[in-house]
């Protein structure tokens, strides 16, 4: 490496240069480098011992590479080193100690206890030990002389922080990250002395306590305040007005109770999450004064009353989640004014009335959940203007009328369509065949009639197991309930995009199962049960290799069960009961594990294992000796 010839070089910064391989030994010939920054490359191997001989070195950045092995002890003996950033590698060994001002060791493989001598680094301003595999306790001794410390990150480091309640720290922190660190059960009393922090994350910190009265008065400078995932109880604190812009306030997954506090006019809160608590009472009208809000989640509480029209004033809102509460009344027509919204989730409430034709006319809307309410009437034609929709979940209401043809014609980005358990009638439009991104089609438990169109075998995302219709959304966890394998399952976040399911059960469909359906190689669930289908099971059913659940029960299907069904190697749920099948039940492969006789109930002409009825020529129903 040519830089090794530059003996008087003082600063070398090769950050983000796609460098690979090991650090060349020629760097050891540099006589007086003060700055060596090689971060965010693809460098690998051990950290060379010769770096510990660069006595003039003040700043060493090796972060975000692929270094492995032990951290050389000689690094900690460099007399002038003040900045050491070696996070995001696979390093192990001991924590280096010298006259450091900045020490970043996060995301490595460090283990053991954190030495108390760390508390003697009197010049240290930033300390990050996060995402390692430490053990043991961090106490006051670890901070004894850290009077200049401003940034502390012990998150996800498997540490337990046990501090005396009367301890007064020598520092004033600006950033505090203790997420997934065992801080509880009491709320840390030493925080009372920290008046200037702007980043505070104490989520999943094993706290079972109420928030002290003094804490809310310390948060005015914060742009992130996260205490989610604890067992904090009592009322939601009344925070003072935030001075910063774009504040993220997350109090979710606790045990807060009582009414929502009245929020003073504050345009600085951007993300507000109070989901998964025990909050009750109505949504306060003045919530609409949080003019800077772009995500609001109050889901999984006991909130009642109507949706206040003041929420329509939140013109920057992108994510609105009020699901799993006790909200009632009609939808505010003014919700159509939320022109920047991506996600609206009002599912699992007691909302009623019709879906207003003015709601929503939102070109930006990606995900709309109105399931498990009491909506009635027909689908409003305005929904066809939501051309970015990827998920439309209207299941378990009392919606009626025909499934509009514009669903298939205009909602071309739709990947998930759930109309389950409503009162839709008429035939399923062939226009749905144009929906090449559709991977979940659930229209079960309606009053649909007609036949299954052959073109339904053309759903390309069900053929090729594509998930490109899913658009991940920050500040919101997408979820969807589906009946697969005979029971209702809720799929959350990344799981949703792995589900490829077609359910048209419990309707009034007639005719045969088109052979073209066997082209849907990516399907994991197919439910055609409780209809009036006739004919035989398509012979190529065995080509649907991804099928995990197949339910054709309670129809008028007949003939022999194709031997190819034994080729469904992923199949764990099968129901062919109450049809008119005849002949011998296929054997071999996955069918040997599906040995519940009720799979074939109500088919009097079937014989063979697992039934007790012998087929002609059999001496007895044979139980397979082993499973391949």
Average pLDDT value for the chain: 88
For residue 345, CA distances in Å to 36, 260, 331 come to: 50, 19, 12
Cα separation of 323 and 343, whole Å? 12
- Residue 255, class by beta-carbon neighbours within 10 Å (0-12 exposed, 13-18 middle, 19+ buried)? middle
Give the pLDDT of residue 620.
39
Q: Where are the alpha helices (DSSP H) in 305-445?
A: 406-410
Q: If you count them, how many residues does the chain have? A: 628
- Rounded percentage of the chain residues whose pLDDT exceeds 70: 94
- Residue 603, class by beta-carbon neighbours within 10 Å (0-12 exposed, 13-18 middle, 19+ buried)? buried
Give the pLDDT of residue 616.
80
Q: Which tokens hold the place of 566?
A: 């034994």
Task: Return the DSSP state at 347.
Answer: -
| pTM metric for this prediction | 0.89
Mean pLDDT of 228-237: 95
| Backbone dihedral region for residue 377 (phi beyond 0: left; psi -120 to 50: alpha; all else: beta) | left
Q: Which tokens hold the place of 499?
A: 């589900």
Give the pLDDT of residue 628.
39
Q: Where are the alpha helices (DSSP H) in 411-499?
A: 460-463
Mean pLDDT of 344-368: 88
Q: Which of 24-33, 459-468, 477-486, 490-499 has the lowest mean pLDDT?
A: 459-468
Q: Which of 412-421, 468-477, 478-487 has the lowest mean pLDDT?
A: 468-477
Give the pLDDT of residue 276.
96
- Examine the pLDDT at 320 and tell me if it is beyond 50: yes
Q: Residues 612, 614, 620, 622: is their CA dihedral positive or negative? A: negative
Candidate CATH numbers 3.20.20.70, 3.40.50.150, 3.80.10.10, 3.40.50.300; the one for domain 501-607: 3.80.10.10
What dihedral angle (degrees, nearest 10) is formed by the CA atoms of 320, 491, 391, 493? 60
Give the pLDDT of residue 238.
86
Q: Which residues make up the CATH 3.80.10.10 domain(s) of the chain?
A: 210-317, 501-607
Confidence band for 142, pLDDT divided at 50, 70 and 90: very high
For residues 267 and 243, the answer to whether their CB atoms sit within 8 Å is: no
Cα separation of 500 and 546, whole Å? 9
Confidence band for 624, pLDDT divided at 50, 70 and 90: very low
CATH number for region 210-317: 3.80.10.10
- b/e map 29-57, b = 16+ CB within 10 Å: ebeebebbbbbbbebeeebbebbbebeeb
Mean pLDDT of 65-75: 91
For residues 352 and 373, the answer to whether their CB atoms sit within 8 Å is: yes
Give the pLDDT of residue 146.
94
For residue 473, CA distances in Å to 219, 316, 320 come to: 27, 16, 12
SS3 assignment, position 191:
helix
Give the pLDDT of residue 487.
79
Give the pLDDT of residue 623.
45
Confidence band for 211, pLDDT divided at 50, 70 and 90: very high
Cα separation of 31 and 54, whole Å? 7
For residues 395 and 419, the answer to whether their CB atoms sit within 8 Å is: yes
- Rounded percentage of the chain residues whose pLDDT exceeds 90: 60
How far does Cα 501 stand from its chain's mean position?
20
Between CA 29 and CA 37, with CA 31 as vertex, the angle to 5 degrees is: 80
Confidence band for 343, pLDDT divided at 50, 70 and 90: very high
Confidence band for 497, pLDDT divided at 50, 70 and 90: confident
Q: Which tokens hold the place of 142?
A: 């670890």
């Amino acid at each position: 490496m040519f830089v090794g010839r530059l003996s008087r070089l003082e600063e070398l910064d090769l950050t983000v240069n796609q460098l690979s391989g090991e650090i060349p030994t020629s760097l050891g010939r540099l006589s007086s480098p003060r700055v060596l920054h090689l971060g965010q490359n693809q460098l690998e191997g051990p950290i060379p011992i010769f770096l510990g001989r660069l006595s003039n070195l003040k700043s060493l950045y090796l972060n975000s590479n692929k270094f492995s092995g032990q951290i050389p002890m000689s690094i900690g003996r460099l007399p002038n080193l003040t900045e050491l950033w070696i996070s995001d590698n696979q390093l192990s060994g001991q924590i280096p100690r010298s006259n450091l001002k900045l020490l970043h060791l996060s995301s490595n493989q460090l283990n053991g206890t954190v030495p108390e001598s760390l508390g003697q680094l009197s010049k240290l301003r930033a300390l990050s030990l996060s995402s390692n595999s430490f053990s043991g306790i961090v106490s006051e001794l670890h901070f004894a002389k850290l009077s200049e410390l401003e940034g502390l990150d012990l998150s996800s480091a498997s540490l337990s922080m046990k501090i005396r309640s009367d301890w007064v720290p020598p520092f004033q922190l600006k950033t505090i990250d203790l997420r997934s660190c065992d801080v509880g059960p009491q709320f840390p009393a030493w925080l009372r002395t920290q008046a200037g922090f702007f980043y505070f994350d104490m989520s999943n910190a094993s706290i079972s306590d109420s928030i002290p009265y003094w804490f809310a008065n310390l948060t005015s400078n914060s742009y992130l305040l996260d205490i989610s995932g604890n067992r904090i109880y009592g009322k939601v604190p009344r925070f003072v007005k935030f001075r910063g812009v774009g504040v993220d306030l997350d109090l979710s997954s606790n045990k807060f109770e009582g009414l929502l506090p009245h929020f003073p006019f504050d345009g600085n809160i951007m993300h507000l999450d109070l989901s998964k608590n025990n909050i009750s009472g109505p949504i306060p009208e003045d919530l609409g004064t949080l003019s800077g809000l772009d995500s609001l989640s109050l889901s999984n509480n006991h909130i009642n009353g109507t949706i206040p029209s003041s929420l329509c004033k939140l013109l920057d809102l992108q994510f609105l989640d009020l699901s799993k509460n006790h909200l009632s009344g009609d939808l505010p027509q003014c919700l159509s004014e939320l022109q920047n919204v991506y996600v609206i989730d009002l599912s699992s409430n007691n909302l009623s009335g019709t879906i207003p034709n003015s709601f929503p006319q939102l070109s930006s809307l990606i995900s709309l959940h109105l399931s498990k309410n009491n909506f009635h009437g027909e689908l409003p034609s305005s929904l066809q203007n939501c051309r970015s929709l990827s998920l439309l979940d209207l299941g378990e209401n009392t919606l009626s009328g025909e499934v509009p043809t514009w669903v298939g014609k205009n909602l071309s980005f739709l990947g998930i369509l759930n109309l389950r358990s409503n009162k839709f009638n008429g035939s399923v439009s062939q226009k749905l065949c144009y929906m090449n991104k559709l991977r979940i089609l659930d229209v079960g438990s309606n009053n649909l009639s007609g036949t299954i169109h052959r073109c339904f075998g053309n759903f390309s995302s069900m053929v090729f197991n594509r998930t490109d219709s899913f658009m991940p959304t920050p500040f919101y966890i997408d979820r969807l309930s589906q009946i697969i394998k005979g029971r209702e399952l809720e799929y959350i976040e990344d799981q949703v995009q792995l589900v490829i399911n077609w359910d048209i059960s419990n309707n009034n469909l007639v005719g045969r199962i088109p052979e073209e359906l066997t082209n849907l190689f990516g399907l994991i669930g197919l439910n055609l049960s409780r209809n009036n289908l006739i004919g035989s099971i398509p012979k190529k059913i065995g080509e649907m290799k991804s099928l995990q659940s197949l339910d054709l029960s309670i129809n008028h299907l007949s003939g022999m069960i194709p031997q190819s069904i034994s080729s469904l190697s992923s199949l764990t749920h099968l129901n062919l009961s109450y049809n008119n099948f005849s002949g011998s039940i296929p054997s071999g492969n996955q069918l040997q594990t599906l040995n519940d006789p009720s799979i074939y109930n109500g088919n009097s002409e079937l014989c063979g294992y697992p039934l007790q009825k012998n087929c002609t020529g059999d001496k007895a129903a044979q139980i397979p000796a082993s499973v391949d």
